[in-house]
């Protein structure tokens, strides 16, 4: 059983919990996920099973979130799961100020992840260091924010802002909530988070663990085939058994044997290699000793 699951994570489950549950339901050891969601967060958690675990790195990187940000509050974790360390009513923030502040987050930005996160420093997870009371410098990272759309604004002593965010991989929405509060002259925390798109999968098409178990018990569960999950990549079709054999052996294939239309290929980008709609792996084209070759990167056979 090789493929992907568009899993809808419910609150109070860790991403690791979900992987362990899928292993038990499907009775298979090879299960991985395509991006951690905090325990309190809900929404799309891409799951790979079988040989498809080797393809997680090639899935689309874009993600989308619906987030609720509460202003006037700061916690140790940058969300409501942590200890409150600041709480003061907010009275002078307008939607116009918020729009101006949000504009500064668009594009490529440098972000400091929350101290309570799964990032490793000196081989240890930050959240473990934080729980142990160790103070370390959190490494910054460059992330990409494509859009931030305001969905709702609820004024009050502790006003709440609901936004839709489209961003690249590695972005921490908790950090956006925290940093937005600072830009507005107060504090901010993430009060709710729903990931409604990840790795090309949409929340509307997702299934819960309960539904997965029901389908498996009924004998009707079918994972998303790798060739469907990787549709964003251009494809190279191996037209005969000999080419498939050479590919399975990890051999480089000369471009003139592939009957490409047009008979050239872009160097440097990944291609999905298929045969009769079955994904055989991932390769890229390189020029080696004057010859243009399809070079295997991941072989599934």
Per residue in 70-123, pLDDT (tens digit) is 999 999 999 999 999 999 999 889 999 999 999 999 999 999 888 766 666 766
Tens digits of per-residue pLDDT, 201-227?
Answer: 999 999 999 999 999 999 999 999 999
pLDDT at 263 over 60: no
Q: Average pLDDT for residues 271-276, to the nearest whole number?
A: 91
* Encoded tokens for 42: 């809900």
CA neighbor of 155 nearest in space, from 96, 104, 81: 96
233-299 folds as 2.30.130
Q: Is the fold of 3-60+200-227 the same as that of 63-198? A: yes
Q: How far is CA 125 from CA 80, 122, 130, in A?
A: 20, 9, 9
pLDDT, tens digit (0-9, with 9 covering 90-100), for 172-207? 999 999 999 999 999 999 999 999 999 999 999 999
Spatial distance between the Cα atoms of 3 and 8, rounded to a whole number of angstroms? 16
Work out the average pLDDT over 253-266: 72
Active-site residues, by number, are 38
Sequence-ordered list of residues with C-beta below 8 angstroms from that of 71, at least 6 positions apart, any chain: 90, 93, 158, 159, 160, 161, 180, 181, 184, 186, 187, 188
The tens digit of pLDDT for each residue in 132-183 reads 677 777 788 999 999 999 999 999 999 999 999 999 988 999 999 999 999 9
pLDDT at position 114: 84
Domain boundaries, the chain: 3-60+200-227, 63-198, 233-299
Averaged pLDDT, 241-262? 87
Q: At what angle do helices 173-183 and 95-103 cross, to 10 degrees?
A: 120
CB 188 within 8 A of CB 181: yes
Q: Which fold has domain 63-198?
A: Pseudouridine synthase (3.30.2350)
First to last CA, the chain: 13
Quickly tell me which residue has 């090639």 as its tokens.
Answer: 58
Task: Taking the CA atoms of 281, 282, 287 and 289 in sequence, report the sign of the dihedral they define.
Answer: negative
Does residue 280 have a pLDDT over 60?
yes
Q: Cα-flanking dihedrals φ and ψ of residue 103, to 5°? A: -60, -25
DSSP codes, 92-123: S--HHHHHHHHHTTSEEEEE---SSSS-EETT
pLDDT for 261 equals 54
Question: For the domain bounded by 3-60+200-227, which CATH number is listed?
Answer: 3.30.2350.10
Alpha carbon distances (Å) from 209 to 23, 200, 231, 256: 11, 20, 25, 47
pLDDT of residue 189: 98
Residues in the chain: 301
Interacting residues of 163 by C-beta distance below 8 A, sequence separation 6+: 66, 67, 69, 102, 148, 149, 150, 151
DSSP for residue 13: -
CB 196 within 8 A of CB 44: yes
pLDDT confidence of residue 257? 86
d(CA 198, CA 141): 20
Nearest 5°: the CA angle 127, 129, 132 is: 110
- In tens, the pLDDT along 13-48 reads 999 999 999 999 999 999 999 988 989 999 999 999
């Amino acid at each position: 059983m090789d493929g992907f699951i568009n899993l809808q994570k419910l609150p109070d489950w860790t991403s690791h919990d979900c992987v362990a549950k899928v292993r038990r339901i499907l009775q298979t050891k090879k299960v991985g996920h395509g991006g951690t969601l905090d325990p309190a967060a809900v929404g799309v958690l891409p799951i790979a099973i079988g040989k498809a675990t080797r393809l997680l790195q090639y899935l689309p990187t874009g993600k989308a979130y619906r987030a609720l940000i509460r202003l006037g509050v700061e916690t140790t974790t940058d969300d409501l799961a942590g200890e409150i360390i600041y709480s003061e009513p907010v009275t002078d923030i307008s939607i116009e100020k918020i729009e101006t502040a949000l504009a500064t987050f668009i594009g490529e930005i440098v972000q400091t992840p929350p101290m309570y996160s799964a990032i490793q420093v000196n081989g240890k997870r930050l959240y473990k260091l934080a729980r142990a009371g160790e103070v370390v410098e959190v490494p910054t990272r460059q992330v990409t924010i494509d859009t931030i759309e305001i969905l709702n604004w609820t004024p009050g002593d502790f006003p709440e802002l609901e936004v839709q965010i489209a961003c690249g991989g590695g972005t921490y929405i908790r950090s956006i909530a925290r940093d937005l509060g600072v830009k507005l002259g107060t504090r901010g925390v993430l009060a709710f988070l729903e990931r409604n798109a990840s790795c090309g999968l949409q929340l509307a098409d997702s299934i819960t663990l309960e539904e997965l178990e029901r389908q498996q018990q009924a004998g009707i569960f079918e994972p998303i085939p790798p060739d469907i999950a990787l549709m964003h990549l251009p494809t190279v079709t191996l037209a005969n058994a000999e080419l498939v054999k050479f590919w399975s052996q990890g051999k480089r294939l000369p471009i003139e044997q592939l009957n490409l239309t047009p008979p050239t290929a872009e160097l440097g980008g990944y291609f999905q290699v298929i045969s009769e709609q079955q994904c055989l792996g991932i390769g890229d084209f390189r020029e080696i000793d004057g010859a243009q070759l399809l070079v295997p990167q991941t072989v599934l056979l």
